[in-house]
Chain A
Amino acid sequence: AQSVTQLDSQVPVFEEAPVELRCNYSSSVSVYLFWYVQYPNQGLQLLLKYLSGSTLVESINGFEAEFNKSQTSFHLRKPSVHISDTAEYFCAVSYNQGGKLIFGQGTELSVKP
Chain B
Amino acid sequence: DVKVTQSSRYLVKRTGEKVFLECVQDMDHENMFWYRQDPGLGLRLIYFSYDVKMKEKGDIPEGYSVSREKKERFSLILESASTNQTSMYLCASSPPGQGSSEAFFGQGTRLTVV
Contacts and interface: CB of A to CB of B under 8 A. Distances in A.
Interface of A: 4, 6, 9, 32, 34, 36, 41-46, 49, 51, 90, 92, 94-106
The 9 closest A-B CB pairs, nearest first, are A94-B99, A43-B105, A103-B43, A103-B42, A105-B42, A44-B105, A96-B99, A99-B31, A43-B107
B98 A98 contact: yes
A42 B106 CA distance: 8
Nearest to B43: A103
A103 to B, nearest CB: 4
6 contacts: A4-B42, A43-B4, A49-B102, A90-B42, A98-B99, A103-B44
A50 to B, nearest CB: 10
B99 A95 contact: yes
Interface in B28-68: 31, 33, 35, 40-45, 48, 50, 58
Interface string B75-104: 000000000000000101010111111110
A1 to B, nearest CB: 9
Given A43-B4, A96-B98, A101 B42 contact: no
Interface residues of B, number: 28
Contact of A100 (B4, B45, B100, B107): B45
Contact of A43 (B45, B101, B106): B106
Nearest to A101: B103
A51 B101 CA distance: 9
Given A32-B99, A41-B107, A44-B92, 13 more contacts: A43-B4, A43-B107, A46-B103, A51-B100, A98-B31, A98-B96, A98-B97, A98-B99, A99-B94, A99-B97, A100-B33, A101-B103, A105-B42
Contacts of A98: 31, 50, 96-99
